[in-house]
Chains A and B, each alone.
Chain A
Amino acid sequence: MKAKHQRLALVAFAIVAIVAAGLIAAWTLRNQANYFYLPEQMTAEPPAVGQAVRLGGMVQAGSITPQPDGITVKFIVTGNEESTVPVKYSGILPDLFVEGSGVVAEGSLGPDGVFQATNLLAKHDENYVPRELEGLEGHNAADYAADTTVGIE
């Protein structure tokens, strides 16, 4: 093989690999489109039972009910519309998890229609003033919850 051919082969290989990466990414990302659900989406087109998804929305006022075992809570997540999804979570609640706040629940839908959360993400605000969490309503909360999908906070 001449040097020039070798260089071409190298470039071709690199391009093939990067394009493959792009295609794999595109294909997987298309499936990811149904990874994040708003409550109205979850009621309209529920994900398969047991499929790992995220549910984002607002914690409905007055809906947080601690269970007798002391570690489980049930609450209801609402979004822009009237749709609601009941959620069950066992674990330590995030510090900013309060009624009316945005929340993202990671988990899967159970056969009984209750979302079984394995992890709750509530958000810290970028100015470090959690006050911004108060007074969020409806549309705001849903937008806000969707932003919360960065896992680190």
Chain B
Amino acid sequence: MIAELGLAALWLATALSVLQIMSGVMGLRGDEKGAVLAMYARPAAVVQAFLAVFAFLLLLWAFAITDLSVKLVATNSHSMKPLIYKLTGTWGNHEGSMLLWVAVLALSGGLLAWMERRLPEKTMSATLAVQGFVALGFYAFLLLSSNPFERLPVPAMEGTGLNPLLQDIGLAVHPPTLYVGYVGLSVAFSLAMGALITKQVTPDFAKVMRPWVLFAWVFLTLGITAGSYWAYYELGWGGWWFWDPVENASLMPWLAATALLHSVSVLAARDALRTWTIMLGVLAFSMSMLGTFLVRSGVLTSVHAFAVDPERGSFILALLALYIGGALAIFAFRAGSIAEGKRFSVSSREGALVFNNVMLSAILAIVLLGTLYPLLTEAFDVRVSVGPPYFNPAGAIFAIPMFLVMAVGPLLRWKQDKPARIQFELMLLASVLISVVALVAILGDYAILPVLGLAFAVALAIASFLPLRGRNIARVPTATWGMVMAHFGVAVALFGMASESAFTQERLAAVTPGSTETVAGWTIALEGVDPVAGPNWTAVEARLSVARGDEEPTIITPQARNFWAPAQATSESALITRWDGQLYAVIGDQSDDGRWQLRVWWKPFVTFIWYGGLLISLGGVLSIIGRVRVDLKRRRATRKARERRDDKIAIGEQAQPEPAE
């Protein structure tokens, strides 16, 4: 019953999305007839959200009880699996993750319809119609090519299991977080299209759009950070970014969303960059669709690419072409008719933001081309692989000016400013940059990019707090703290990346119990190697006694695991975290003469990469809180003013003499 109920809920939600499109379009007419049908757009979106989430919960339930008559459960789960991984396994496969995607899409559409009351009615109608249209495409994709509720003719005896690599708490949080980000951008897209259709690209519209962009961006940031940390500790390589196409698929929407976030802020605050903001709204969602296509179409072979099914790939590609093509067509027709925004000088806060917007777009172009290039050449039967030797230098060409302007931009005034006014700050930052580069160059022979990275990180960390100089700290708006925090987070992450790249030390050895190795001031003694067993795996576990200097030794236990459903080996790294870095240990195979392979890294300040990601997200959260608080305050003020006016009228009425009988 569960599966049929889920399927019914999905079909009903699909029908409601059609209703939502129709009533949204009718609402655009603006006459009475249209208004009658337009009333249904909001309820349709809200009920649809309930239905889609309900369908997802049902699938979650099927996984929880391991209902082996459902094909998806049978092929992706196993009754012996720990409950938490039964649940997370729901989205550890193509169909389930698409259902999650659709549920989040419907939920955000529902929230938009339920909460948003500030937009002009017509713009809202157009927005809901676009949102319904996006939802309809994905319902069709799910129901026609990836039904998660398909039954098996005969229930399976046992499930085939879940990739052990995915049996990790990182998987529990990483994909849903990323999806919320991807799908949050769909709302930004719908809003942008809605405003474009009704030509209402105004600061008020930007204020409505901003929290959605912020929200999506915070989740994208968290998702990327979590994914990076997961890859770092789970894959046992000690790397945190591989320029894997699937990683790029999440980085590209992030770059676009970051640009959009800044341009929507300019539009909200200064009424400039109208068309540019709309363009970025389209671009950001295009990138999240493209990401979905790359990951879901099977054109990539990766741990994330579940489906190797050309039909599915073509379906998403068709959706991508339809939505983005349609959006660009509307853009081409309407862009000219959007009234111009306010003007600004090149040396102004707006000027700096525009510059960085363009730099972000250029980096996006670099990543996009590098990601698609191997796919293009493969069409001509040439196999190419694109890796760090391309992405790092090509990206750095645009990242370096971006970091420079990022440090200076927030110090500039809106509209027009003279660089001479911030002479002191400029001198300070320049001297910091030069001294760090000089210092590192004297200390040793390091590659150029990590050294530059360190210098920019230090300068940027200082620069991010400079906007607070000379201000009353208690009265700085929360949203400004958000910016300070996010920019500081970028500096922290950059510091971690550069430090890890430049200063990591490694020790690789074949060891026997009792032997001791050293790396970067740590002594690592192998006390023993034991067999251990988990719920669905067995492993060899090394007991390492590690200590830095004279301190008390700590025991850490890297494992080499063997899962049996499905049969696969993974290595579980052991980490020990200090304020100034992490010690990372992996155990390998036993050689014929009985020695164990042991690999130990000391990675200075590597944790800063993820602390930076968290700080950036925190900055986004602070901005949302700040904006919402300002909005609420304003709303309360208008209500009070209205009440006062009503009171006055009421008093006036009372004052009128009662008519005499």
Contact = CB atoms under 8 A, between A and B. Distances in A.
Interface of A: 1, 3-4, 6-7, 10, 13-14, 17-18, 20-22, 24-26, 28-29, 32-33, 35-36, 38, 52, 54, 56, 66, 69-71, 90-93, 95-96, 104, 106, 119, 123-124, 126, 128-130, 143, 146-153
B118 to A, nearest CB: 27
Contacts, number: 168
Contact of B358 (A13, A104, A152): A13
B361 A14 contact: yes
Given A13-B358, A91-B508, A151-B244, A70 B389 contact: no
A44 B338 CA distance: 59
B492 to A, nearest CB: 24
Chain B CB within 10 A, most for which of A10, A90, A119:
A10
B89 to A, nearest CB: 11
23 contacts: A4-B340, A17-B361, A18-B358, A22-B365, A25-B373, A32-B389, A35-B386, A38-B383, A56-B385, A70-B510, A70-B597, A71-B510, A71-B588, A90-B508, A91-B508, A92-B236, A92-B508, A92-B587, A92-B589, A95-B568, A126-B298, A126-B305, A151-B243
Nearest to B510: A70
Given A7-B340, A24-B366, A95-B569, A32 B361 contact: no
A1 to B, nearest CB: 8
Given A17-B359, A52-B389, A124 B300 contact: no
Given A24-B394, A95-B570, A150 B301 contact: yes
Contacts of A24: 366, 394, 397
Contacts of A7: 340
A106 to B, nearest CB: 8
Interface string B272-289: 000010000000000000
Contacts of B527: none
Contacts of B370: 25, 29
A54 B365 CA distance: 24
A14 to B, nearest CB: 5
A126 B93 CA distance: 10
B586 A18 contact: no
Interface in B374-401: 374, 382-387, 389-390, 393-394, 397-398
Given A3-B343, A28-B394, A152-B231, A18 B365 contact: yes
B601 to A, nearest CB: 11
Contacts of B162: 128
Contact of A71 (B363, B383, B385, B509): B509
For the complex of A and B, list the 7 residue pairs with the smallest distance between their C-beta atoms, beginning with the closest: A70-B510, A92-B588, A151-B242, A149-B385, A128-B163, A21-B362, A95-B569
Contact of A153 (B302, B587, B593): B302
A32 B390 contact: yes
A121 to B, nearest CB: 9
Nearest to B587: A92
B321 interface: no
Contacts of A69: 510
Given A10-B354, A17-B361, A152-B231, 5 more contacts: A6-B344, A32-B389, A95-B568, A128-B566, A151-B239
Query: How many interface residues does chain B have, given as a range?
Result: 35 or more
Given A52-B389, A95-B570, A124 B361 contact: no
Contacts of A17: 358-359, 361-362, 398
B387 A151 contact: yes
B15 interface: no
Contact of A21 (B365, B571, B587): B365
Interface in B163-194: 163, 165
Chain B CB within 10 A, most for which of A24, A52, A106, A143:
A24
Interface in B498-519: 508-510
A20 B398 CA distance: 10
A2 B397 CA distance: 32
A92 B384 contact: no
